[in-house]
Amino acid sequence: MKMNVMSFSKKLLPLLLFFSITGAHAGEAEIRKSLQNKFPGIGGLDSIVKTPYAGLYEVIVGDKILYTDAAGLYLFDGNVIDTKTHTDLTELRRHQLFAINFNKLPLELAVKKVKGNGKRKLAFFTDPNCSYCKKLDKELAKINDVTLYMFLYPIFPGSDELVRNVHCAKDPVKAWDDLMQKGIQPAQVSCNTNTEQVMALGKKLKVNGTPNLIFADGTQVPGYLPAEELERYLNGQTK
């Protein structure tokens, strides 16, 4: 996981952090320079663009959407809601920015699990030592009529061996379910795995943590979702 973005995020209040950047009216270049000076560990700022609402500028840092004002005086961490329509404008923008072409994913690298008719599809990056990944697995157990593509993504200490043992098991799906839902360790086995390709894929898609969900419509959701939210996304009800 890239700690520069995460460390930066932890310094922000849940909804709003403000600080003085400059007293002069700032443009995109000035805002970029000021943010990098104020937060040397912030890493690359992917983009800074003016939004069509409230004179705000959208600032993209990794997988986060932040906002600043036109004068560069305030930095906001939170969602912008249209009070007339109750539309979450930030969430809609997130769907646009971080959407992934599901059909171009190398699904052959994933552990595939079909439930029911398997018509709906969900791919996700997961780690066996990730507590929220275990919570996600328990929620997915409540979901039917879906095909799951699990990219085993060992970013936690000690996960490499577990991932290898799951991949090399006679029944990887059962080995994974036993591990995540029952705490049963997979047998020690050795074989060639595709872990390096999965890690490269995650890096390409900017997967900085687990779980990381990718739905059939391209919507990417970093983090855990409960069963009712999973159903909503699987049914394409993301707006």
Residue-wise pLDDT for 164-205, tens only, equals 999 999 999 999 999 999 999 999 999 999 999 999 999 998
Task: Give the pLDDT confidence of 27-55 residue by residue, as tens digits.
Answer: 778 877 777 777 776 666 778 888 988 88
Looking at residue 30, its amino acid is E
Percent of the chain past pLDDT 70, that is, above it, reads: 86
Task: Give the pLDDT confidence of 131-164 residue by residue, as tens digits.
Answer: 999 999 999 999 999 999 999 999 999 999 999 9
Looking at residue 65, its amino acid is I
- Which domains occur in the chain, in start order? 3-97 (3.10.450.70), 102-234 (3.40.30.10)
pLDDT at position 72 is: 67
pLDDT at position 95 is: 73
Peptide bond preceding 40: is omega within 30 degrees of 0, i.e. cis?
no
Please state the rounded mean pLDDT for residues 114-128.
97
Quickly count: other Cβ atoms within 10 Å of residue 136's Cβ: 23
Answer yes or no: are the C-beta atoms of 102 and 217 closer than 8 Å. yes
pLDDT at position 98 is: 80
